[in-house]
Structure 1
Amino acid sequence: MARSAPKPLGELALIEQISRTFSSAGAARNKAVALGIGDDCAILRPPPGHEILVTTDFSLENRHFRRDLHPPASVGHRCLARGLSDLAAMGAAPLAAFLSLALPAKILRTRRGQRWVQDFLAGFHSLARQHNTPLAGGDTSESPADLILADIILIGSAPRGRSLRRSDAHPDDALYVTGSLGGAHAELSALLKRTHRSRSTASDSHPHLYPQPRLAVGSVLLRRHLATAAIDLSDGLSTDLTHLCESSGLRAEIDSSALPLHSLTAKLSRQDALHAAVHGGEDYELLFAAPTAMRIPRKIADVPITRIGTLHPPRAGKPLITLHHGGDISSELKPAGWQHFSS
Structure 2
Amino acid sequence: MRVPPFVMERWQSTFEHRVDYNISESGVHPLMLSELLELIDLDPGDVHLEYGQSDGSDGLKAAIAGLYDGAGPENIIATTGGAEANYVVLWSLVSPGDRVVALEPTYGQTPGLARGLGADVVSWKLEEALGWQPAPGSAADVITPGTRLVVVTNPNNPTGAVLSESAMDEIVAAAAAVGAWILADEVYIGAEVTGPETPSFWGRYDRVVVSGSLSKAYALPGLRLGWITAPAAMHEEFWSRKDYTTITPATLSDVAARRVLSPEVRPRVLERTRGIIRANLPRLTGWLDDRDDLFSYRAPDAGAICYVRYALDINSSELAERLRAEKSVLLVPGDHFGMDHYLRVGFGNPAAELEEALGRVAALLEEACAAVV
Higher strand share: 1
TM-score normalised by the chain length of structure 1: 0.26
TM-score normalised by the chain length of structure 2: 0.24
